[in-house]
A and B are shown apart, each in its own frame.
Chain A
Amino acid sequence: MIDLAGEPLFGLPLPAIWFGLVFFVLGMFLFLDGFDFGIGILFATREDDHEKETLLAAIGPFWDGNEVWLVVFGGALFAAFPSVYANLFSRYYLLMFAILAALGLRGLAPEMYEEREDEQWRRYWGYSFVVGSALTPFLLGMFAINWLTGVGGIVSIPGVLGGLAVVALTVADGAAFLGLKTRGSLRDDASRHGIRAVAAYVGLVALTLVAIYVTTPGLQSALLSVPVIGLVLLSVLLAVGYVVATRQGEYHAAFATVAGLVAALVGVIATAMFPMVDRAAGVSVAAGIVSTLPLNLMTIMMAFLLPIVLSYFGVLYSVFSGPIDAEASYG
């Protein structure tokens, strides 16, 4: 019988692993629900009702599952770093509720949109869908950057820039997903928007990092560390890869580069933050971690369930692989 209350399981560095896991889950959410948000934003660029329906159909089976990664993010943070979860969520009180409101709007709008066919109803819920889809990643980006810098208020220059960067990233994400799911002018237009968005993303990330550097002296050395610079350079390469892949019609590759971009982004935030987990409260990963017994239990739970959960997504995406509207493409 292993003594679960005594030592971290197998002597593993569990606090650091859980710190990484929390960011992994956040990254999964940004990547997967990111394409839903991006498609929601691109919804604004379409006039034709049939095309709009196609966009909704593209995310239909997926978005609910994708959103659960945010639930797990909250749960994992709560379980592994309870005081950090409590401090962070109460510090950015209004921001958290703004995220919930935006996410609620995004979730409700497609359901409502489908409900009736008259123009005014659809126009209103169409707007709601776009606004919810754009605001959620913006506010989440603000939250992530504020968490990193530990700024007291909700609105900060790095936060706003970071929010915009995440919005751009989700547009690129959505465009790449539409590359896989649609054909014809819808896909071509989405690709053009995606290329612009990924270029904007690189610029905005650079601006965000400069703004953090200027406003947060405590993070300057972290930002100039080798891993952070490496991840930033990697992001530039991935963005170039996105453009090349999209131009050549290699949408799987383009989608994969977005996954890389998201991983690099959460990687930068996590690396710059470590070994702290809540700079504003001065709490380090080692100090904020939950005690050994629940930590070990949660680790067993995650080790067991994470591969299973990932396989659910594998099944879901393979069942609905391929374009949604093959008939309507050029023939």
Chain B
Amino acid sequence: MVDPVAASRLQFAVTTVVHIIFPVMSMGLAPFLIYFTWKEIRTGEAIYERLRRFWVKIFAVSFVVGTVTGLVLEFEFGTNFAAFSTFAGELFGGPLATEGMMAFMLEATFLGIFLYGRERVSDAFYFLASIAVGLGTWLSAVWILIANSWMQTPRGYELVNEGGQEAIRLTDPMAAYLNPRFQYMFVHMQNSAVESVALFMAGVAAYFVYKHYVRGQEIDNPAFWLKTLKIAIVALVITAPLQVLHGDLYARHVYETQPQKFAAMEALWETDTYVPEYIIAFPTDLSHILDPRAKELFGIGIPGGASWLASGGNPQAEIQGLNSFETEAPPVAIVFWAFRIMVGLGFWFILLAFWAAFRWHRGDLVDDDLLHKAFMGSSLLGIVAVETGWIVTEVGRQPWLIQDVLLTESGVSPDLTGAEATFTLAGFVGGYALLLVLYTYVIRRIIKHGPPEIDDGSESVDAPTDAPPEAEVSVDD
């Protein structure tokens, strides 16, 4: 039996780590789908219709699973973190309700039209529907990140005592909602979603391009996959450098607003100047090898690197160590390594983007089999980077649930029993494993099935007027 606090935290970790995959897919696909729809309508070229109809299937599955797993998170604030919800509901409930009304409703209703309504509405309306869906996914992120960023840099509130219970009282909504962290989080998250989807598209497309152009095998749609690869490369060339440049600003902001998290990212225990940026670090004592909070570290790093990063150019800058805080340090090793994986991947994606752009420029994009293999191997690494980024954000904030205001252990539902929490935790571990298997299975099938065939010659995208009912059922009618 796990105690209710640990079980609730683990359960929230499991449910968010799984959930974030699906919004990344839908938020990242949204701009591509809008682009495909626009090009389809403007040019009438069949390839754009095929691009839209192929990728919208993946969008639809991601959206459904994202709805199912997202509702879980909304409920968990009440079920597992009732004390937090009571304490901070004033600030936290509003953005969640607004997300539902402003974003989710827009996305879900127009998705019905976007998926099933191509022949039922005009071109212009259909294009508007694609924008409504995309806007909905991105507005969702606005409100969810407002809620989350407020937990990182809480502003615009006061603490009040109501009948012996402390609670948050909203005093300045603008300061609270547009708290300092919000803009960093929003740019970083949205760009990473597009980047992750670009990597996924490139990986899938590279598989078919490699098969056809390098191995000389016959495939159904070589032109379709080459086009997909090129679009993905363009997106990657834009998003990959932006992500790292912006990440640098973000890290500095974390240093200024959450020094404890920054110290954990750098595994720095004692306040110091000339702090190196470790590339790797390990406990020197083997008995501490599994202790995430081990203090005696052996590391290889760039001298003054972390000081330089934190201060924006000064290698002598002083950085506060974990020992200077009154609260227990976050699980340092998790934060430290997650940060390194994320940053490492960020640089790898830049390399990949420019490598591909170079080959494309030289006109031998299809021939570079090593590049294709690199893309294939990297198809899910964007998601990995997002996951590790969120681990830095959320684990790095520990032991605080709301930075410097509420400890995580104080936020858990007071009446929750260990048995209940352990039971649902086990259910989620099993259920979500199954969910991921099914999701992967469906995505693989969609990819294997490939893009839909379209009657060539006819510029019209109208289906026959008396299409069989099956045609209306499936997304790819």
Chain A contact residues, CB within 8 Å of chain B: 5, 50, 53-54, 56-57, 60-62, 64-65, 67-68, 70-72, 74-76, 78-80, 82-83, 85-91, 93-94, 96-97, 100-101, 103-104, 107-108, 111-112, 114-116, 290-291, 293-294, 297-298, 301-302, 305-306, 309, 312-313, 315-316, 319-320, 324-325, 327-328
Residue B312 is within 8 A (CB to CB) of chain A in the complex: no
Bound-state CA distance A101–B75 (Å) is 12
Cross-chain contact A79 with B94 (CB below 8 angstroms): yes
Residue B224 is within 8 A (CB to CB) of chain A in the complex: no
Q: Which of B75, B93, B120 contacts A319 (CB 8 A)?
A: B120
Cross-chain contact B117 with A319 (CB below 8 angstroms): yes
Binds A, one of B229-237, B395-403, B464-472: B464-472
Cross-chain contact B442 with A312 (CB below 8 angstroms): no
**Residue of B77, B81, B82 contacting most chain A CB atoms (<10 Å):** B82
Cross-chain contact B473 with A53 (CB below 8 angstroms): yes
Chain A contacts of B170 at CB under 8 A?
Answer: 291, 293-294
User: Which residue of A has the minimal Cβ distance to B421?
Assistant: A93
Residue B308 is within 8 A (CB to CB) of chain A in the complex: no
Chain A contacts of B65 at CB under 8 A?
Answer: 108
Q: Which of B79, B431, B438 contacts A96 (CB 8 A)?
A: B79
Residue B86 is within 8 A (CB to CB) of chain A in the complex: yes
Pairs of residues from A and B, 3 with the lowest C-beta to C-beta distance, nearest first: A82-B89, A89-B78, A61-B112
Whole-angstrom distance between the Cβ of B4 and the nearest chain A Cβ: 10
Q: Which of A65, A83, A93, A100 contacts B89 (CB 8 A)?
A: A83
Cross-chain contact B113 with A61 (CB below 8 angstroms): yes
Q: Which of B68, B72, B79, B99 contacts A90 (CB 8 A)?
A: B79
Residue B291 is within 8 A (CB to CB) of chain A in the complex: no
Cross-chain contact A320 with B75 (CB below 8 angstroms): no
User: Which residue of B has the minimal Cβ distance to A310?
Assistant: B105
Chain B contacts of A324 at CB under 8 A?
Answer: 469, 472
Known: A56-B473, A101-B427, A111-B64. A68 touches B105 (CB 8 A): yes
Chain B contacts of A86 at CB under 8 A?
Answer: 77-78, 81-83, 85-86, 89, 413
Known: A104-B68, A294-B170. A62 touches B101 (CB 8 A): no
Q: Given A74-B100, A291-B90, A316-B113, 11 other A-B contacts at CB below 8 A?
A: A86-B83, A86-B89, A87-B82, A90-B78, A93-B420, A94-B423, A104-B68, A104-B435, A112-B438, A306-B101, A327-B466
Chain B contacts of A83 at CB under 8 A?
Answer: 85-86, 89
Cross-chain contact B100 with A75 (CB below 8 angstroms): yes
Whole-angstrom distance between the Cβ of B357 and the nearest chain A Cβ: 37
Whole-angstrom distance between the Cβ of B471 and the nearest chain A Cβ: 9
Chain B contacts of A107 at CB under 8 A?
Answer: 64, 67-68
User: Which residue of A has the minimal Cβ distance to B173?
Assistant: A297
Q: List 24 A-B contacts (CB under 8 A).
A: A56-B473, A61-B112, A65-B112, A68-B67, A68-B108, A71-B71, A75-B93, A82-B86, A90-B78, A96-B75, A97-B424, A97-B427, A101-B427, A101-B431, A108-B435, A111-B442, A291-B170, A294-B93, A297-B94, A301-B98, A305-B98, A305-B102, A309-B101, A312-B106
Cross-chain contact A312 with B110 (CB below 8 angstroms): yes
Q: Is the interface of B mostly helix, strand, loop or mixed?
A: helix
Whole-angstrom distance between the Cβ of A92 and the nearest chain B Cβ: 8
**Residue of B96, B105, B173, B466 contacting most chain A CB atoms (<10 Å):** B105
**Residue of A65, A93, A298 contacting most chain B CB atoms (<10 Å):** A93
Cross-chain contact B72 with A108 (CB below 8 angstroms): no
Residue B474 is within 8 A (CB to CB) of chain A in the complex: yes
Cross-chain contact B97 with A90 (CB below 8 angstroms): no
Cross-chain contact B71 with A70 (CB below 8 angstroms): yes
Cross-chain contact B474 with A75 (CB below 8 angstroms): no
Chain B contacts of A294 at CB under 8 A?
Answer: 90-91, 93-94, 170, 173
Whole-angstrom distance between the Cβ of B439 and the nearest chain A Cβ: 9
Chain A contacts of B424 at CB under 8 A?
Answer: 93-94, 97
Chain A contacts of B110 at CB under 8 A?
Answer: 312, 316
Chain A contacts of B75 at CB under 8 A?
Answer: 74, 89, 96-97, 100
Known: A65-B108, A87-B82. A290 touches B90 (CB 8 A): yes
Interface 0/1 of B53-80, CB less than 8 Å to A: 0000000110111011111101101111
Chain B contacts of A54 at CB under 8 A?
Answer: 469, 473
**Residue of B100, B115, B470 contacting most chain A CB atoms (<10 Å):** B100
**Residue of A53, A61, A320, A325 contacting most chain B CB atoms (<10 Å):** A61
Chain A contacts of B109 at CB under 8 A?
Answer: 65, 68, 312-313, 315-316
Chain B contacts of A68 at CB under 8 A?
Answer: 67, 100, 104-105, 108-109
Bound-state CA distance A103–B94 (Å) is 24
Whole-angstrom distance between the Cβ of B165 and the nearest chain A Cβ: 9
Q: Which of A79, A291, A312 contacts B97 (CB 8 A)?
A: A79
Bound-state CA distance A293–B115 (Å) is 40
Cross-chain contact B112 with A316 (CB below 8 angstroms): yes
Cross-chain contact B74 with A91 (CB below 8 angstroms): no
Cross-chain contact A90 with B413 (CB below 8 angstroms): yes
Residue B354 is within 8 A (CB to CB) of chain A in the complex: no
Q: Which of B171, B416, B470 contacts A293 (CB 8 A)?
A: B171
Chain A contacts of B466 at CB under 8 A?
Answer: 327
Residue B42 is within 8 A (CB to CB) of chain A in the complex: no
Residue B351 is within 8 A (CB to CB) of chain A in the complex: no
Whole-angstrom distance between the Cβ of B2 and the nearest chain A Cβ: 15
Whole-angstrom distance between the Cβ of A72 and the nearest chain B Cβ: 4
Bound-state CA distance A280–B167 (Å) is 21
Residue B121 is within 8 A (CB to CB) of chain A in the complex: yes
User: Which residue of A has the minimal Cβ distance to B417?
Assistant: A93
Chain B contacts of A291 at CB under 8 A?
Answer: 90, 169-170
Residue B456 is within 8 A (CB to CB) of chain A in the complex: no
Residue B445 is within 8 A (CB to CB) of chain A in the complex: yes
Cross-chain contact A71 with B74 (CB below 8 angstroms): yes
Whole-angstrom distance between the Cβ of A321 and the nearest chain B Cβ: 10
Chain B contacts of A78 at CB under 8 A?
Answer: 74, 77-78, 85, 89, 92-93, 96-97
